[in-house]
Chain A
């Protein structure tokens, strides 16, 4: 097989680099804008492909670029399939339910409504997995394709399950759920015939998570208690001078102010949590002999996210590729890969590529790129 080359052992570092500058993207952004308008956004699948081709191509691993081999046609067909097979039936079911809600009664409507949400959550899980699989199988480096080694169904069930668990535990199970879902996704991501590994506990995440969760939970609980302690029956009867009602009313007067405080604190604490989460996820990820380290900070992450938000807003959405470029650059700059790997021994995967892409993810408007 390899009788005419030396097997290279990469020791030390692999360097992931991203070198897009705004100048590279302007032609694509303008072309996409014009063609989208001309075709009433029919063109968007090809536009998205154009952007990805540039972003992938400008990302290099040890100087060698990635390739994006997806096509607009694949995205388009994926969209059509999902639109007619999933979206349309869902919308019709929702409308029919709304019309006949009165006939069915509260319990039946409630049950059907809950089923509806469960189905949507499951579909979101499917969408995440399938979008990932599409992008991985359309990513090529040194001629070798990316892969996903699992199936979307089990992942979607897992996603749904951990979502429900989070809700039931009032959010406390969130880091645990994240480790389990992200971990599954990462563990089934592969390159050639090898795959990533993901192993770790969610315990290191809980310190920062509780810093976020506790104050917000306490504030919410206080508001709910205050609302409950206002005896509405007493109010209707004109008895407005109970001490409890006075205290609660006074507290509730502060609710908007408290709400703003909670929102600001929540945003800061959430960013801090995300930073820890990203670092931990990187630490738990392995590929063959490689270890990963992500060097993110709260302030830099905030600048990235806020900047991207401003870009999208000020360009009315047309400037999204620039936001995506910033995202790529951010991660490539801050990711360090260390360890040993025998790159040459990685073999092309014999798995079939999925034929079309991403309809579900497109429908749910997800995926950063």
Chain B
């Protein structure tokens, strides 16, 4: 019998703990497929964040380091500067990357560190039960914006891809989404381009993946995809924000 589909080698053969309909499952798979296709698992070191994907160190087959909240780009810098031939990636959520870790994110990008950041933007803090994130939309209801995000008292969301693209340091930044097949295919291309950028020593790459959180949005997985399309994509337009490759 011909095998037409299998789990990527870079993904451990263990059950994932994510909620039904969580897009972490999709993105983990895409990253692992890219690592397999580029043949780099043996020299890859991943940095796991604090957030729902904290257990990523159990899901990827390459060497993994758990970082303190927001510090993954600094940890990745330490790893990469020690062994320049390693492919070092971080996998971070919106609280990790754009709240507590803003300085580490901006400065790793500004330094043009030859690392790859996978940024999961789902407009909420998932692991801790659905609080407001720097990427929460105006008017969006969360546990810490129970009347809807009030821009007067709680400010405006951060557009990370746009922000980082104003720096001279980055080599490649693209925003993608995983809400439909067409977008998932584009997301994989972007992730592959980002890892390739690092392998070819061309500099700092970041892929922002607009994602869902059905559990904390209070929607079904299917409704969540729709909510993403109708609300997130207008605020976070997909596309390439930096391409010096």
Do the two shown chains form a genuine complex with each other?
Answer: no
Residues of A within 8 A of B (CB): none
Could you list which residues of chain B lie within 8 angstroms of chain A, going by C-beta atoms?
none
